[in-house]
Every structure is written in structure tokens, then in C-alpha cells.
């Protein structure tokens, strides 16, 4: 079982980039939740391509059709299915790719696994386009969470090695909303301009760049999650690595914690207005796999788009000899900024799942 | 469900640090696998404390008793249960901790979740001691894998910010074996001495340090794994974050890939002796969640041991006021080096599970 | 998670009876499997209503549209999504049902669970109509299995208390095919006529009847399945009870075994043409949850259609007083005969899942 | 994964009949639940053999040792592990069985699956003895449920074809308690005497008999469960078929519903003291997979003990020729009466799991 995650709320993604349609089934949503389709569309708009030279020229209107689970604007308890028709594919751009796998893509591994039957036009089921239905599911989860004062927000923490500011100790819903309104999702506008210049520079060199996304979630109670393999980190990371191109996930201080001393990395507890708080949040809001009540904070590393216009060395699956490949077609010189809402979406789904599962510590 | 992972091979860990015993049930092991108990014990010895000033003085003989699943030295198909009796606990060192949660530990989150019923002596179920039964399960998985020429090996990639050499492009079984024989698991002995000095220095300051573990797996065929949420990264990370103190996981170039260009990060395919290989392995052996046939390579960040001897600020759960805490007892100034075999163990379990599940791409 | 089952092959059903569409996502199908759509349609035809006075007059053309997973007539490895548009609904027949739950239906329990937000028009997500996408998934599984000489076939073992002949000790593919061609799926045509007369008699009395379906599967190797809770009986029964109206499942001699002596019920082993066989098959092809190599045989009890035209006593959810209800609209006087292919479909999915999972006994 | 079930509360059973020990890990129990060990032992006593000529003479003291999860008499949130040492095995009674599989047992299927490595002494992991740790888990679940006024009780509905009375429409906690106190678990003492005579008669003929167990659960709210494959029937049946020798499960009217008309089988709703009730309970308390608030009622068919003293025909796995087998040793002429508390135990675990999962219909 590959394209699904979740325990109470199960999200199952289907579709290939150039197939008839892509979509998602969300099973386990609570009933009676009003879904604001305009708000959902505004969320989907944040990952849509075709808006500037920073991303692929492929047009995606991406208006989902709801086949089930949503009646009179509210969830009805039954599994929700949303479908997005594919259009504006340029499949001929991909002719020849079946024979010559693109470096950094799943073309080769899919050909080994599925023995040549794989539909890899446009990346097939591995395409970043599959994140559109993920965002439909996540956008719905975000609306349900917001009604319970739980919010997830993300920004581009770095791109092409250029850093944004990190989130403050206590990110707010207002901060999340302000990022969501920006054309380029950073805290520091100046950093954002330098990132965009670097992306365009890469594009002009027929190249691409990667980035790191920082995400925070606020409003969760302490005590959610479980020890060991069902902890918050395990659940979030398993879902986040399902986003194409994510190659690293770290919580709180993450990799930098490994170079700190315990006296630096431990977050002292303190009482604030009757609440137990951390003076710092190197734990990223998670101790022993369980929420502390501090914001959950993590970062996901997104590799540079593997589709680049430069000639690349590969092999021919037919002749099993070395070969050269030049990829044509429209590609994103960077996908990290478009992946920001995707990370929010996946996070929202995991958090909704956790909240519905409940604490279960006591009964 | 917290303390279990796996799909075909399921590993369920139980026990509290100062309870009667800790142990593991491994369900789904293939039958007829001879288990060399001396070899297993040698593996367990790699994580055992009490061997030097680098780790806690707590003695753990940790010889597991096999209650089921192993008959006449071979697995018999039925679930295997291994139990390690607890001994040499100093529970009184932990009196008072129930009231004053230790920063960086799960004391507070467990108290929220389990409402004061948690057995947190010595960290309870969250203790690093629970990695002993994990190593029993993983050591068995390693023996089964080795018979199929699949090997996982790890080393301390950095400690206290001091770097070891990285693994070469093609780590070998011989290299893994040479690390396993070392008292301190590094490639570069000089770096290892500097790391050990830093650990002892932290110990002398009543402090602790963290580290990063690099792990590689060789011998896997291409085509294992699944797209999206059941990819190799998702499965490995979910298991790895179950190891106490792991706060980051990255595959291949990981976070550093985010600062590379696509032309740098893409691994060109090339034919070598009739095999499809990468000229580099920034992908860490995984594209689209599926093995490429190159070594799987990843790193896990281990935070500095939260138990330190310095006075720390915390709160009183009884009075809900700020409080000071000084932790007594025996503690590891660094657990990253002892976590090296634990990472190997968890990796071996996940890989065995993947191999038993099979490719399933075609039928 | 409600509307899904399977381990390697996961089947997720969505839709409400009177919503926009119903459908199914099948994740984990092997790639490269040719699907004969005519053969699939012929299979779907077996459960289609509207063919005679024996079933509802609702027309269901039920031609599925494949949104993903099927390219050029073959599975491509990616999740398969098939959608069937809803049409010919007579939703107004159901006005008033929201207030007065129909006895024997899920109207009341759904209203408790989903708090009035349930879309129960035509039974909503609980409708027998949801078995159409199940048959799409199962029809595909049947074709994949047939290529490996594994076949599942079923007949109406009894209806309205009138018995058909039981399956012989070794049912054959030919026998299954002959039943599939019949308008009424029985072995003994005379019994079938008496059953049909009883169904029409019930219809004329504004009433309905139930039935028992016997299903067999041939061609499976011995050694599939697992002990205890993941045995063949556990997996099949969990899936079969997911078919609306199924209230009992028994394997082999089943309930009648409880009245036999061990000397009667034990199946003596015997060698036949070098194969281990049972002289009888009271075990239904399963011992200890694992296949014996004999045909798998089980029966599923289908209750009489709860929708009947007679006035019935119920309550008003609005006034919480007793009330009378008369259901209008088109209903099946018996669904057991239409459920025969559904049982085959579910069985085929479970068996494909088992075969893909493999034996795993040894490695 | 074979020997485990549950979603929030996971029960994993391990051990072989003649191995060192058998036991169970229960993960996900709520913390702070006091467990009365005397009450637990009294429950375990109900399935213990050796009490009369009705069951095997094997002595099982079966006092479980709690290795984890239970501190100071209360659950502590961490996984609970209970172990029962094996003793009084007569393994030599089983010599030769490895070569000649016993009809009706898992000897043959285990030998196919595990290739001769299976430990089948005394039935190995397939032995009814494995129901002892299941009863430990279930006995604990029963105590936790009773504190919430949820009760499961069972009786021997029939044995050797001799019927007991069925449960009344509303079984009570008092009725359950009165059965639990009886040496032979029936409602009608006269029927019980006839059953016992039939069991002894079978024993004297070196034969065995089966039986049917009826179980009811009271105190559950309406609205628990999920549609289709995660409904109450699916969950309970998957767990119940995990009990060795269970070959059929039916809910409410079950198989007899198939011979009723809809007007007879539908349960009219009625208001009673402000509660929605059924005038009858042919649905067994479940509609659409979801609880109605009426008692859950089901029956499980237990086949006659396959171990009988008469000579039986089997094969030699060594020579692959027909062979005769006479089983020596101590065996139960009937296990159905001892399986009564086992059915209660499994039911209690499933119900606790369901209650902890919650309704999730609305949020």
C-alpha cells in the first residue's frame, strides 16, 4: 500500500500526471464540517504553477470535483472523493523518456518495479502534480482544525542556500495568514527577493535549485501522540517523506542539536500565566513522541528539481549502454516555494488524525 | 499503538527502565533461520553501557531469554519473544522526578498523557534502555539479512560537532565489520579520539553532547519500496524517529541537497559491468521511494543526553510553580555512539520487512 | 477507517447512493495486467438490477470510468481509480426517511453517528449500490487470478429457505463458468425456479426474502495465510461482513460442524496423484488459518432486504415518539442472488492480496 | 503479521504449547486502571483444564507474571506484558506427529508454511493453550469495561447438537455473573447435564464433540463502529476467527435470518423510557456496521476437538504415502465449554478498542 496514510483519517491519493484525472479519497472525516470552497481554492492557488517565471508554465486550474462525502457544503461522514481532471498535458515532451530514465527522477526505479508498464509521462504517479489532491485533503483538514483553533503554517526557510528568518518562538495565526497572502512565502521580503533572483538565475542556466521549508503548528494540547514508533515525529516524517523531493526532516533544533550540549539544548520548563511552557523550543514541541503544548516546529529539505534543461548523462534501458539525455518541456526551476502549502497540507492531515484519535492516555 | 512497527515483520517493544523486565515480540520472522547467539551477544555488546567513562556506569548484562519462537537455535515461524530482566536499577535516584519533570525528557509529556500513573523511574518506557530489546530484534534481522548478502552498517558521523569521514560511495561489508570491532565506532581514529575527548570534557562539566549517525545498507535489489507514503524514506524515518533522542533524519545529500543545483544533485546513471549505477549517490539509493540498487545512505541526528548533572530550571507539577532540579544518578554524557548499533538494528528490521514484502511491482 | 480493506492490495470504496458518483481506489495492483473490459462488464452485469421482477427497477448501466491506474488496457502500477456516475436516482422517494429511520437499515445508526449530517438518500454510503465499485475491483482481481489458475465462484445456496445443491468436493472452473452464465445463479435449476417463485411471492406480499451464498476458491497453494488473527478465516470474514446485509459467515462444515463428532468432522489426509488431499473438506480448505490446498469453501448469510412495502413501526427522530412508516420506491424483493458476484468479488480481492503477500513461512 | 489484533488497543500473543512460556503484549491500554488480580484469576479459572473429566488432564496453573505495564496494581500506560510459564508438558506424546500430521489440526499446513521448522509439539503456536494469554488480556479489558458499565457474557448455546436456551432480549450483568459462577456455562441446567453426558459419551468412544457459543455485550452506546469493512461485525469476526477451532460466526438472527421474510426479520423501532429500542433484535445490535444501542449478540461455532483417540487415516510427510495415526496423550473431548470465557475475552478486547477509538462521527 503506497499512496495512503493516516489512522482515523485516511488519505489515499491516485492519478498519474498525464492520465485522465488525479484525485484523493479521504475516509474518516467527521461529519457536519462546512467546507468553504473559496477558501479551499485560495489555498490550492498557493501551490498552483503558471503564475510566474519561478515555476512551470503548465496551467493547472485544478478545480476539484467532489464526487462524494460533501453534500450541501458539509461533510456527510461518508468517504470524500475529490477529482481534478488533467488538462494541458504535453505528453509528447516525454516521448523517449521511457527509454532514457531522467537522473533524479523515479523513471528508472519505476521501470524496475513495474517492468516497463509504468505510465511515466510527466513523472506519472510520482509527479509533483499529485500534491494537488494532497492539498485538497489538507485544505479541508486546515478548515476543520481552524474551527478548533489549531493552525499549521510554513515558510521557505531557505532556497538556493539563501536563508529566511526562522519562525519566532511563538508563531501566530496572524503570521501564518500573512505568509499565505504573499506571492513568495518568506518572512523576510529581502531574503525572498534574493531567493527569487537565485531561482531565475538557475532557470537561465537551464538549472534548478532546492530549498528548506519550515513549518509550525499551534493550538495543539499537550499529551497527544505516543511513545516510540507512533510518536509525532514518526507520524509526521512518514507523511512528509511522501511528498516528492523531500529528502530530510528535522524537528526543533534537529541536526543542529547534535552539536549542542545538553545544557544548551534542554528546554527549561517555566510557568507562564498558569501554563507549563518551555523557555526555548529546541524539542520542536515534542518530547518522547508526545506534544508538550509548545508549537510543533520542523523543517523539510526539498531537493532541487531534477528536471533541468542541460544535457545529462544517463543510460538507455533498451541497449543498456550509456546515453545522453536532454529534457525538453516546461519545468519548475524550483519547487520548494510551491511545496510550502503542501507541507502545511500534509501536516494538517496528520494533526487532524491525531486529534481525532485522541489522547487515550486515560479513559 | 505506540511501541510497534513493521508490516510483515512486526516488532513490538515492551518494558519500563526500572520495571521487572523489558523485551520484544517479533512476529512474522521466517522459519528455519539459525540464530547465532554469540554473534547476537557481540552485537548487543556494542550498545551496552558500563564499559568506559563515555557512558553510564549502569551495568547491563542484557542476556535475553527467548520465551518463544526460537527452538533448537532456529526460528520456528511462531512469534519470537525475548525478555531481558531488569537489574542494577537505582530507583531512588529518581525519587522526586515525578514531581519535577526533567527538561528534555518525556517526564512532563508522559504525566500529561497518563495522568500521573506513568512509571517514569529511569525514564520508564521512554528510556534508552528500551533500545536493548530493539537490538535483539535487529541483531536477529541482521543475521537473516547477511545470509542474503544484505548488510547494514553505521558509524558516528559527528559528535559534539566534530566530524568523522563520511562513508565512501560504496561501503562494504568489510568496512562495516571493521567499525563493529572498534571500541568507538568511527572511520577516522583521530576524529574518534577528538570526539571522545569532547565527550569526557562534557562529562567533567556535568554536561552532555549529541551526535549524528550515518548508516548505509548494501546488497538490496533495485525496485523495493513504494511511491509516496510507503516509500523507503517514509518507512525508515518512521522507525528511526522511534529511537529515543533522534530529532532529524536525512537521506543521501539530505539537507545539503537543498543548497545544491539540480545539475549537481542529480546522480547521472551509468553502466558498470552490466549494472545500472549512479556516478554519485546524492539520492541515498532511493528515487521515488524505491531503491535504485545503489547503497541506501542516511543520517540520524541524536540530541545531547538530556540527563545532565547541572542544576536546571523546571517546574513543580504539584505546586505549578517554577522550581530547580538537579539530577543525580549515573548518566551517559553522550548516547550517540551507543545509538550506532541501534540505528543498524532498526534499519535491519525495516529492510527485512521490505524484502519479505517483496517488490509486488509485477506478479 | 471504514470503507477499505486489504494489506498489499488495498481497496477503498467511496460514494453515496444518490450522490454524484460512486467508485473505488485499488492501490497495490501489480503492473502489466491486461484487463478485458468486456469480461469485466459481463461480470458487473451479474449484479446489475433492473433485469427482471426479481430485483429493483432502478437502471444501473454502471460503466466505470477509469481515472487512473489503467493505461492502454493494462494496469500501470499506480493506484487504479474507477468511477461510476450516479443516475436514475429517485431521491424524492426518500424524503421523510431522514426523520423516520427504516427498520433494518442503517438510517438510525448513521443518524446517531453522524448527527443528522448523513446523506442517507437511497441508503447513502450504506447502500447495496456501493457493491458495484466493489465488483469493479473484484472483477479485475478475478482476471488477474485467472491468469494464475486461481478461481472463485459462488452460487445461491439457499433462498427463502429453499436449498440448492451444495458445491461438490472439487468444484471446477467450468462449474463456476456455467453458474456465471445463468440468469439465476444456482446449481439445481429446479431449486432455482422454486426460489424465484418464492421471491416473486414475497414481492407480491410487499415483502422480501433472504438467502445464503456458498462460495469456493480453487487453485490456491497450501501454506497461504497465518495463524490466529491473520488467518484466512479472519481476513475473509472481515471483508465479507463489509458487504451490506451479510450477517453470518461459516467455513467448511461451519455451524453444522458443532454438531458433529471429531471422528466425523476431521478430514482424513490421503495421497492422490502425489498430492496431499483431504478425503472430505469439512475444514473448508483451512487449518490453523492456513490453506490446506483443498478448495476454500464458505457460506455467507444474507438477510432479507430491509426495504419492504408494508407499513412498519418505527419512531420519529424529531418528536421521539412511535411512528408508522411505509417505504415507497423501487426495491429488491431479494438481494441474495445479486450478492453472489459481490461475494466472488470480495473473495477474489482477498485472495489476490494473500497471493501477493506470499507465504513468508520461509525466506 | 499473524498473532495480533486491534487498532488502539493492540493484543499480540506469543508462545508455543510446549515452549518455555506463552504470553501476551497489550499495547494501548489506558493508564491508571486498577486490575484486580484475584478477579482476573477467577476469570482465567473458567477456561482452565484439568478440573473434570470433561477436559484434558493437563494441569495449568497459569498464573501470569506481569513483566511490564502494571505497577502497584494499576496500568501505567506503557505496554503490558504478561507471561505464563509452560509446565506439565508431555512432549513425548507428540513424537512422531511431525511426520504424520493429525487430521483437523494445523500440523500439515504449518509444515507446508514453515518447511519443517515448525514447533508443533502440543499444537505449537496453534494450540488452544494460546487462549490463556488471550484471556489475560481479555480479563483485563473486562475489568476496564465493567468500570464503564459495559459487560460481555457468553454461554454454551449448544454442544453435541443439544441446545441451551438462547439469551433473553435483554441479558443483564446479573445473568452474565450467574453463568460465570457455574461449573458448566449454560442457562438451562438440564440442558447442561445432557451436554455433559454427551461429552463424556464421546470421550468414552475416544471421540469428541463441538458446540456453539452465544455471546452478548451490553452497555455500549449507539453509534460505535463504521460502515463497510470496519464495521462491528468485521472487527469482531476477524478477532473471533483467531480463536482456534472457531469455524462460523453469525450476528443476531444470522443464518436463520436468511430464511425469514423482511417483515419478520426487521426489528421495529420503538421508544422505551425515552430511549430508542428495537422490539426484537434480529440485527444483533448492529445496523450498517454500527451499534444500535441494543445488546450486541452473536454466536460462534466451535468444531469438535480434532485430537481423538481413535485411529485415523493420514499421510507420512516423509514417505508421502498413506499412513495410520493414533494420537495418545491427554485431550479435551470438547473445548467449546472452555472456549466460552475465551469468546468473552476476545469480545471485551474488541469492545474496549472500539470505545477508545471513539465515535468520530462528529468532532
Give tens-digit pLDDT for C216-226.
999 999 999 99
Residue at A310 is within a domain: yes
Per-residue model confidence (pLDDT) at position C155: 98
Q: How far is D72 from chain C (nearest CA, A)?
A: 32
pLDDT digits (tens, 9 = 90+) for A35-93: 999 999 999 999 987 677 777 766 666 689 999 999 999 999 999 999 999 986 665 65
Q: Which of D167, D269, D286, D267 is nearest to D216 (CA)?
A: D167
Query: What pLDDT score does B233 carry?
Result: 98
Cβ-defined contacts of B323-331 (< 8 Å, 24+): B323/B100, B325/B100, B325/B102, B325/B103, B327/B97, B327/B102, B328/B93, B329/B90, B329/B93, B329/B94, B330/B56, B330/B57, B330/B58, B330/B90, B330/B93, B331/B56, B331/B208, B331/B305, B331/B307
Q: Is B32 exposed, middle or buried (0-12, 13-18, 19+ CB in 10 A)?
A: middle
Enumerate the residues of chain D whose CB falls inside 8 A of the CB of residue A148.
363
pLDDT at A50: 66
Given pLDDT bands bounded at 50, 70 and 90, which one contains residue D1? very low
Q: What is the mean pLDDT of residues D353-360?
A: 88
Beta carbons of D363 and A144 less than 8 Å apart: yes
Q: What is the pLDDT of residue B48?
A: 87
- Chain A residues in contact with B311 by the CB 8 A cut-off are none
- Residue A95 in any domain: the answer is yes
* Grid cell locating B303: 540530541
Chain D residues in contact with A356 by the CB 8 A cut-off are 358, 360, 363
Out of D30, D358, D360, name the one closest to residue A362 (CB): D30
User: Which chain C residues are closer than 8 Å to D359 by Cβ?
Assistant: 113
Q: How many CB pairs under 8 A join A and C?
A: 176
| B110 inside domain | yes
Which CATH number fits the domain that encloses residue D83?
A: 3.60.150.10
User: Inter-chain contact A30–D362, Cβ cutoff 8 Å?
Assistant: yes
- Residues C99-158 have pLDDT tens digits of 899 999 999 999 999 998 999 998 999 999 999 999 999 999 999 999 999 999 999 999
For residue B277, the distance in angstroms to the closest alpha carbon of chain A comes to 9
Q: Which string of b and e fits C229-241 if b means at least 16 CB within 10 Å?
A: bbbbbbbbbbbbb
C363 assigned to some structural domain: no
Closest Cβ opposite residue B30 in set C7, C31, C361: C361
Number of domains into which chain C is organized: 1
Nearest to C363 among B227, B356, B360 (CB): B356
Inter-chain CB proximity B114 and D68 less than 8 Å: no
Percent of chain A with pLDDT over 90: 86
Please state the rounded mean pLDDT for residues A206-218: 98
Out of C4, C21, C114, name the one closest to residue A76 (CB).
C114
The residue of chain C with its CA nearest to that of B28 is C360
Distance between CA atoms of B283 and B290, rounded to whole angstroms?
11
Place of cell 451499534: D291
**Contacts of residue D148 in chain A, CB cutoff 8 Å?**
363
The predicted pLDDT at position B126 comes to: 95
Residue range of the domain that includes C276: 4-358
pLDDT of D95: 60
Which chain A residues are within 8 Å of C19, Cβ to Cβ? 67-68, 71, 78
Convert the pLDDT of each residue in A268-285 to its tens digit. 999 999 999 999 999 999
A106–B287 C-beta distance less than 8 A = yes
Q: Is the pLDDT of residue D29 over 60?
A: yes
Q: Is the pLDDT of residue D33 over 90?
A: yes
In this structure, is residue A363 part of a structural domain? no
Please name the residue of chain D whose CA is at the shortest distance from the CA of residue B119: D76
Q: ipTM of this model?
A: 0.96
D71 and B19 in contact by Cβ < 8 A?
yes
Chains C and D form CB pairs within 8 A to the count of: 395
- Which residues are within 8 A (CB) of C61 and not within 5 positions of it... i.e. 6 or more apart? C87
Q: Is residue B363 included in any domain, yes or no?
A: no
Under DSSP, is residue C270 helix (H, G, I), strand (E, B) or coil?
Answer: strand
Q: What is the mean pLDDT of chain C?
A: 93
pLDDT band at D363 (very low <50, low <70, confident <90, very high): confident
Q: What mean pLDDT is predicted for residues D322-330?
A: 89
Report chain D's mean pLDDT, rounded to a whole number.
Answer: 93
Contact: A28, D356; criterion CB under 8 Å: no
Q: What is the pLDDT of residues A236-256, one digit of tens each?
A: 999 999 999 999 999 999 999
Contact D31 A362 (CB under 8 A): yes
Q: What cell numbers appear for A326 in the block?
A: 536532454
| Beta-carbon separation of B118 and D8 below 8 A | no
Nearest-Cα residue of chain B relative to residue A331: B262
- Kindly tell me if the per-residue pLDDT of C81 is higher than 80: yes
* pLDDT tens track for C172-228: 999 999 999 999 999 999 999 999 999 999 999 999 999 999 999 999 999 999 999
Helices (H), A205-335: 232-240, 254-257, 262-265
Question: Which pLDDT band holds residue C1 (cuts at 50, 70, 90)?
Answer: very low
CA–CA separation, C140 vs C346, rounded Å?
Answer: 11
Percent of chain D with pLDDT over 90: 86
Taking alpha carbons only, the member of C21, C15, C17 closest to residue C94 is C17
Q: Which of D240, D151, D155 is CA-nearest to residue D192? A: D155
**Angstrom distance (rounded) from CA C279 to CA B361:** 38
Q: Contact C108/D269, CB-based, under 8 Å?
A: yes
CB contact under 8 A, B22 and D71: no
Using pLDDT thresholds of 50, 70 and 90, give the confidence band for residue C70: very high
> Which site among B107, B214, B227 would you substitute to test the A interface, given the most A Cβ atoms closer than 10 Å to its Cβ?
B227
In a domain, D13, yes or no: yes
pLDDT tens profile C266-307: 999 999 999 999 999 999 999 999 999 999 999 999 999 999
pLDDT given at position B89: 64
Task: Output the pLDDT for position A34.
Answer: 98
Nearest residue of chain C to residue A66 (CA atoms): C20
Yes or no, beta carbons of C119 and A12 under 8 Å apart: no
- Report the gap between the CA of C281 and the closest CA in chain D (Å): 10
Task: With beta carbons under 8 A apart, name residues in chain D contacting B244.
Answer: none
The share of chain C scoring above pLDDT 90, in percent, equals 86
Q: How far is A137 from chain C (nearest CA, A)?
A: 15
Domain assignment present for residue C233? The answer is yes
Confidence of residue C229 (pLDDT cuts 50, 70, 90): very high
**Would you say residue D251 has pLDDT above 90?**
yes
484519535: which residue's cell?
A357
Q: Average pLDDT for residues D94-107, to the nearest whole number?
A: 84
User: Residue D61 has what pLDDT?
Assistant: 67
Shortest Cα–Cα distance, D216 to chain C (Å): 15
pLDDT number for residue B1: 44
Please tell me the predicted confidence (pLDDT) of residue A1.
44
Residues (pLDDT < 50) of chain B are: 1
What is the spatial distance between Cα C199 and Cα C207, in angstroms, rounded to a whole number?
9
Comparing CB atoms, the residue among C32, C148, C357 nearest residue B362 is: C32
Amino acid at each position: 500500500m503506497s499512496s495512503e496514510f493516516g489512522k482515523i483519517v485516511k488519505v489515499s491519493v491516485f492519478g498519474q500526471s498525464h492520465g485522465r484525472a488525479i484525485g484523493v479519497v479521504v475516509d474518516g472525516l467527521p461529519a457536519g464540517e462546512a467546507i468553504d470552497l473559496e477558501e479551499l481554492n485560495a489555498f490550492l492557488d498557493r501551490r498552483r504553477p503558471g503564475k510566474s517565471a519561478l515555476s512551470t508554465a503548465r496551467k493547472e486550474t485544478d478545480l476539484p470535483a467532489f464526487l462524494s462525502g460533501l453534500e450541501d457544503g458539509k461533510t456527510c461522514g461518508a468517504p470524500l472523493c475529490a477529482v481534478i481532471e488533467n488538462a494541458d498535458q504535453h505528453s509528447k515532451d516525454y516521448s523517449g523518456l521511457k527509454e532514457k530514465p531522467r537522473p533524479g527522477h523515479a523513471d528508472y526505479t519505476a521501470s524496475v518495479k513495474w517492468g516497463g508498464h509504468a505510465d511515466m509521462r510527466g513523472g506519472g504517479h510520482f509527479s509533483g502534480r499529485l500534491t494537488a489532491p494532497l492539498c485538497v485533503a489538507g485544505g479541508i483538514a486546515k478548515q476543520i482544525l481552524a474551527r478548533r483553533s489549531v493552525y499549521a503554517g510554513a515558510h521557505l526557510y531557505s532556497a538556493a542556500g539563501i536563508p529566511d528568518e526562522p519562525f519566532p518562538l511563538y508563531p501566530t495565526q496572524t503570521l501564518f495568514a500573512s505568509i499565505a497572502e504573499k506571492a513568495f512565502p518568506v518572512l523576510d521580503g529581502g531574503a525572498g527577493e534574493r531567493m527569487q533572483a537565485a531561482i531565475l538565475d538557475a532557470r537561465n542556466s537551464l538549472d534548478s535549485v532546492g530549498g528548506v521549508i519550515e513549518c509550525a503548528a499551534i493550538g495543539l494540547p499537550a499529551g497527544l501522540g505516543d511513545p516510540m514508533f507512533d510518536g509525532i515525529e514518526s507520524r509526521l516524517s512518514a507523511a512528509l517523506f511522501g511528498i516528492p523531493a523531500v529528502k530530510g526532516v528535522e524537528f526543533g533544533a534537529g541536526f543542529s542539536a547534535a552539536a549542542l550540549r545538553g545544557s544548551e539544548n534542554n528546554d527549561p520548563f517555566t510557568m507562564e500565566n498558569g501554563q507549563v511552557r518551555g523557555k526555548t523550543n529546541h524539542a520542536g514541541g515534542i518530547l518522547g513522541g508526545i506534544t508538550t503544548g509548545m508549537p510543533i516546529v520542523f523543517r523539510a529539505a526539498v531537493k532541487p528539481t531534477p528536471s533541468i534543461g542541460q544535457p545529462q548523462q544517463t543510460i538507455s534501458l533498451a541497449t543498456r549502454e550509456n546515453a545522453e539525455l536532454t529534457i525538453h518541456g516546461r519545468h519548475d526551476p524550483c519547487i520548494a516555494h510551491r511545496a510550502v502549502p503542501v507541507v502545511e497540507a500534509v501536516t494538517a492531515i496528520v494533526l487532524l488524525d491525531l486529534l481525532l484519535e485522541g489522547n487515550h492516555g486515560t479513559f
